[in-house]
Structure 1
Amino acid sequence: MSFDLSGRTALVTGASRGIGYFLALELAKRGAHVIAVARTVGGLEELDDEIQAMGNTATLVPLDLKDMPALDLLGSSINDRWGKLDILVANAGVLGTISPVGHVEAKVFDNVISTNLTSIWRLIRSVDPLLRRSDAGRAILMSSGVAHTARAFWAPYAASKAAVEVMGRSWAEETKQMPLRVNSVNPGATRTAMRAKAMPGEDPETLPHPADVAAKIVQLADPALTITGQLYDVRQDKFLHYHMPS
């Protein structure tokens, strides 16, 4: 799918590897200026090299998403430099531990919720006014199939992703009369480091490469997109429509 994002600015979290890395490349390929956020500086620098090789530019932001005051300042910095934000990709997340819910350590649970949920809310709060200024604001929130299956031993991660989806649906409902479109994504099993940690016995070659997954997700950044408040399933390549309030 080809569409032009020239002159648009996209913020991507977790941009140093995996789906976030390749989504940043997809956005840059279409002309967007990418604000790449991640903890791993080396991965951000590699991304910057690739984007420059395309003839485009990126702004690198080494940042731990649990640094909430820094997230607040991020929106202010974007406002000062660009005055608006066109695309938000809330991709970064942590797995936690795969174990019975009663065995999860408090610090692990707190880290999952802080990284996967609280930081997303804080980021939304920081950039929502900027997305509303865009003539075609797009928010893409990364979810997971376990948000719907209540899979055994995945409770903290599943709960965090389910909460992000519901928060996104509420945000979409609040902004449905605006040009802003807010959607969640279930990428499905993908050849990433997080998947390898969760499923150590799985052959990664049987899974889609994150570049292929990103090539499908990027359509949610299309300025012509009309759908909002829904879940895009990458494996099925379609939106799974929620019931929205009348």
Structure 2
Amino acid sequence: MLTPEQKANLVVVLAGARNPLNIGAAARAMSNFGFRTLRIVTEFPLPVTEAKSAVDAAEVMQQATVHTSFAEAVADCSVIYGTTAVGDRRLEHSVEPLPQAGQAIHASLSSGNRAAIVFGSEKTGMTNEQISFCSGLLTIPMEVHGTSMNLGQSVAVCLWELVREQAQGKPLQEEDALADSGSVDRFEATLREGLTATGYEAKFPANCNPEMTRRLVRRLRLTKKDAEIWTGIWRQVLWKLRQ
């Protein structure tokens, strides 16, 4: 079972939720399963203010943080799973069933790292830009493929999977600990500088738009050490190019 400290390292991110009742329902589901870290990405703070009166979820809502930037909301997370109903949408990430994704999230939490599960807008789901920040996507198996589940229900089902006794993940060794999103961002920024400096970006612009590059880098699932090494390599390349 997850310890209180591990549960505190699980971040539930609501990206674009607009209905205060849905936000409150998500917070209540978190409270029911003992999770407390809620981050809301929105440009409209009013629904968040209204949701603070959510029944049995006052503590979660009072501690919730509001972000205008999705990148900021997940910057300290090593594993980031976006949720999707799939449907007819073309996705660049592989989509894992919830139990499989739960194992990866468990392993990250067991290693002392932060992990995030992201839930998109009630109407449109996650944007392509938001998905590009994810290390993977998960879906809740349902009888009717492509249908979406209520936000509060989705949060409850995902968190229930994490607290099940059998959902035990093997802790990662320290040298295998995954880099957090902020470290990956820094490597990606250095990589993009290199693509520009070498002329690759100008010659093959379709291969390296920001979302594509971000997805490419995050599919590597870099460890902390690997992210540092690759960032150092590309900084050295840039230094040499600019001499």
Q: TM-score, normalised by structure 2?
A: 0.36
Bigger relative contact order, structure 1 or 2 (CA pairs below 8 A, ≥6 apart): 2
Q: Which has the larger radius of gyration?
A: 2
